[in-house]
Amino acid sequence: MRVRLKGINSHTAKLADGTTRTYWYAWKGGPRLTGEPGTPEFIASYNEAAAQKIKAPAGRLLSALQGYQASEDFRQLAERTRADYAGIIQHVIEPKFSDFPLSALSDRRTRGIFMEWRDALALKSRRQADYA
């Protein structure tokens, strides 16, 4: 059975003796994987690396976003809705606000920050800006 592992990254290096060797990584900048692709050892090292992925720091918006995606409320949504929400969270919200402190949400100035961000998104697509 063929298994597709998402995010695998390879790097081919020329060794001192002139031979080349391909190194496999769980993702760009991730830990190096052991074994050859397709072997049980390789898949086990990938699963171990994925399990040790860095958790979001507590007190940041990223931790709240990840908590929501792990919640029962999120899992009860339709499959298409979950996929759409996950895409918006990962590609639109996280790059901008993943390190935003949760304690700052109670500050009145926060609304202005989010509205400026929303208005910038609306220049491209007003509907997607509202959705995000």
Q: Average model confidence (pLDDT) for the chain?
A: 86
> Looking at residue 54, what is its pLDDT?
62
**What is d(CA 97, CA 77) in angstroms, rounded to the nearest whole number?**
24
> Looking at residue 50, what is its pLDDT?
80
Q: What is the pLDDT of residues 70-79, one digit of tens each?
A: 888 888 989 9
> Looking at residue 105, what is its pLDDT?
87
> Looking at residue 86, what is its pLDDT?
87
Q: For the chain, which ranges sit under pLDDT 50?
A: none
